[in-house]
A = this chain, B = another copy of it.
Amino acid sequence: MHDFNITRAARAVVRVTDLNTARNFYVNGLGFIETESDENHIYLRGLEERGHHSYVLKKAEQPGVEVISYKVEQDRDLDSLAALFEGKGMKLKWFAKGSQQALGRAFRVQDISGIPVEFFCSMDTVERLLQRYDLYRGARMQRIDHFNCMVPDVQNAYDFYRNELGYACSEYTMTKNNDIWAAWLHRKPAVHDIAFMNGKGPRLHHVGFWLSDPMSVIHTCDVLASLGYAKSIERGPGRHGLSNAFFLYLRDPDGNRIELYTGDYFTGDADFEPIRWDLDDPQRATFWGHEPPDSWFNEAMPFVDFNTGKPVVVQEAKLEQRKPDFIV
């Protein structure tokens, strides 16, 4: 057993080139709640969230992802996690409480795949707006749900998150050669907090947000189209075979991708058996059979190195690149 407890995927810090352009998309279009903003940041949260934010838009010259963050149960878990990473020779960068808006002490580290991840325990709380239905707009965004990353070596990432960080696997995809092609890993008892899929990386494929029901997804499409954002709809709406979620993939005005996601299932039983999907089995493709567009398969967001400020170096995927229909 581990002497720390990671609770869940908690926030992402994503670069945008124009804050007002981004605000119009996320707040007016999608219905995110803007907790606060300054000249370089907009702090967004969902209607259910009592944390200050789960998604930070940060003004920059170029798009890119600064960090994806996990919340831990207790403050001392940060020290245990820090020891684990340092024990493997990974270099940490600590952030004192308050040095990041609304956030307690935190550290960042490049994980085994080179992804800049962050761990924190506490964040300022604000009013939860779950029952302020009069403020519901667009996607009626509820809460952050998960991250999905392309990495060149899924087996390596899978092993690290399962064995070292205590994640459980809900579903996974195997090649004919029994190589693991993609994996969905969770700490909270849902399908995932993080998914890894085989690809040039590390890159962030998308951040997933939870909605309360499929009609919110449909309404999102209608609202986005009304506002001139039809081209932001990249894939869906549809039903994932893997995860069973009803989904929609969107690209913000800078090309950052998010997923609207609802309807997965409970995975908290200790004897839950991960569900295996074969990469080549057409029967297990996207549930309704629609093919994702090439952009969905090829494009992803670069990470930014928190030490150098430069893009994190990416590597080609170890396994042959393929266009599977069913990745979520």
Contacts and interface: CB of A to CB of B under 8 A. Distances in A.
Interface of A: 7-8, 28-29, 48, 50-51, 71, 73-74, 122, 125, 130-136, 138, 142-143, 188-189, 212-215, 218-219, 221-227, 230-231, 233, 237-239, 241, 244, 246, 263, 265-266, 268-273, 285, 287-290
Contacts of A224: 288
A288 B221 contact: yes
A221 B286 CA distance: 12
B231 A218 contact: no
A233 B290 contact: yes
B270 A73 contact: yes
Nearest to A129: B226
A226 B188 contact: no
Contact of A288 (B135, B225, B272): B225
B241 A131 contact: yes
Contacts of A263: 212-213
B268 A133 contact: no
B230 A289 contact: yes
B221 A8 contact: no
A305 to B, nearest CB: 29
A74 B134 contact: no
Contacts of A7: 268-270
Nearest to A221: B288
Contacts of A239: 218, 221-222, 225
Contacts of A265: 48, 130, 142-143
A28 B142 CA distance: 22
A137 to B, nearest CB: 8
B73 A133 contact: no
Contacts of A188: 189, 266, 268
Contacts of A233: 288-290
A253 to B, nearest CB: 15
A33 B7 CA distance: 33
A318 B288 CA distance: 36
B225 A270 contact: no
Nearest to A270: B73
Contacts of A272: 50
A218 B226 contact: no
A226 B135 CA distance: 9
A251 to B, nearest CB: 12
Contacts of A133: 219, 222-223, 225-226
Contacts of A189: 188-189
B215 A287 contact: no
A230 B271 contact: no
A300 to B, nearest CB: 22
11 contacts: A7-B269, A7-B270, A130-B244, A135-B226, A143-B266, A214-B215, A215-B215, A218-B246, A221-B288, A225-B289, A230-B285
